[in-house]
Amino acid sequence: MKWFFSQTILFLMSSCSPLTADRQANITSMLEQQADRVMALGEWEERWQQNKIGFHQPEVHKMLKKNIDKVLNGRTGVRFFFPLCGKAVDMKWLADMGHAVVGVEISEKAIRQFFEENNMTYSEEPVPAIPGAKVYKNSEKNISLYQCNLYNFSNSIEGQFGAIWDRASLVAVNPGDREKYAALIISLMANDCRYLLDTLLYNHDLYQGHGRIWTEEQLVNYIQS
């Protein structure tokens, strides 16, 4: 595992070698739906309808737990952004600690399941600035999940954030959307923002054939540029 500090951007990369059998199985399940092709939004929604959500983890992500102090850097009441949030339980974990959470997810089913599985009530309203979008909120815990295309979200909706937790998000972005994704993420970062990125580093000699997997060098150059 390595940390990179670049002014306000902080990378955490978890290296995957050596690949144990179950780790490889998990990665394969996560990538099976991504491969090297473009996933349309409707295909993601379809995945949720069919419960093909091998990427979802029932426990708070180990890397987030392990590195939360570095992310918070002494701050309390931090506003976290979760791009492509799914129904990540990490959102509740952070909200329970008094932080605010904003997520964006295309699947309405994922968002409803998030609140229902965590026994939280929620309100549902349209978002005038984004035609067709809805925001689902539990205001007690300061969790707001936007149901829309990520690329329709901007800093005019919820301002900027003090932290971003990117788990299985950057890696799920279609190759043609990477620049848009990076530009959006950067525009959402407040001056003191810390961006925690969990990504998969592969030994390409051992594991070939998945174009989505970025090398460490590609990633660092990409986000820093």
Give the residues lining the site for ligand SAM (CB under 6 A).
Answer: 41, 44, 55-56, 84-86, 88, 104-107, 110, 149-150, 167-169, 172
* Partner in contact with 106, chosen from ligand SAM, ligand NAG, none, beta carbon below 5 to 8 Å by kind: ligand SAM
Using rule CB under 6 A, residue 144 touches ligand NAG: no
Phi, psi (rounded to 5 degrees) for 205: -70, -30
Which is closer to ligand NAG, CB of 9 or CB of 95? 95
| CB 74, min distance to ligand SAM, A | 26
Residues of span 183-202 touching ligand NAG by CB under 6 A:
none
Which of 99, 137, 167, 194 touches ligand NAG (CB under 6 A)? Answer: 99
Using rule CB under 6 A, residue 23 touches ligand NAG: yes
Which is closer to ligand SAM, CB of 105 or CB of 219? 105
Separation of alpha carbons 78 and 69, rounded Å: 12
Using rule CB under 6 A, residue 118 touches ligand NAG: yes
Tell which residue, 191, 197, 182, 198, has the closest CA to residue 162.
Answer: 191
| CB 58, min distance to ligand SAM, A | 10
Using rule CB under 6 A, residue 149 touches ligand NAG: yes
Using rule CB under 6 A, residue 142 touches ligand NAG: yes
Q: How far apart are the first and last CA of the chain?
A: 22
| CB 108, min distance to ligand NAG, A | 17
> What would the 3-class secondary structure string for 187-223 be?
HCEEEEEEEEEECEECCCCCCCCCCCCCCHHHHHHHH
Separation of alpha carbons 38 and 48, rounded Å: 17
Structure tokens that stand for 67 in this block: 């590195």
Which of 46, 77, 124, 224 touches ligand NAG (CB under 6 A)? Answer: 77
Which of 33, 109, 113, 151 touches ligand NAG (CB under 6 A)? Answer: 151
| CB 25, min distance to ligand SAM, A | 16
Using rule CB under 6 A, residue 33 touches ligand NAG: no
Edge-first strand order for the sheet with 200-201 is 2-6, 9-15, 200-201
Residue numbers at the binding site for ligand NAG (CB under 6 A) = 22-23, 26, 57, 77, 79, 99-100, 118-119, 130-131, 142, 149, 151-152
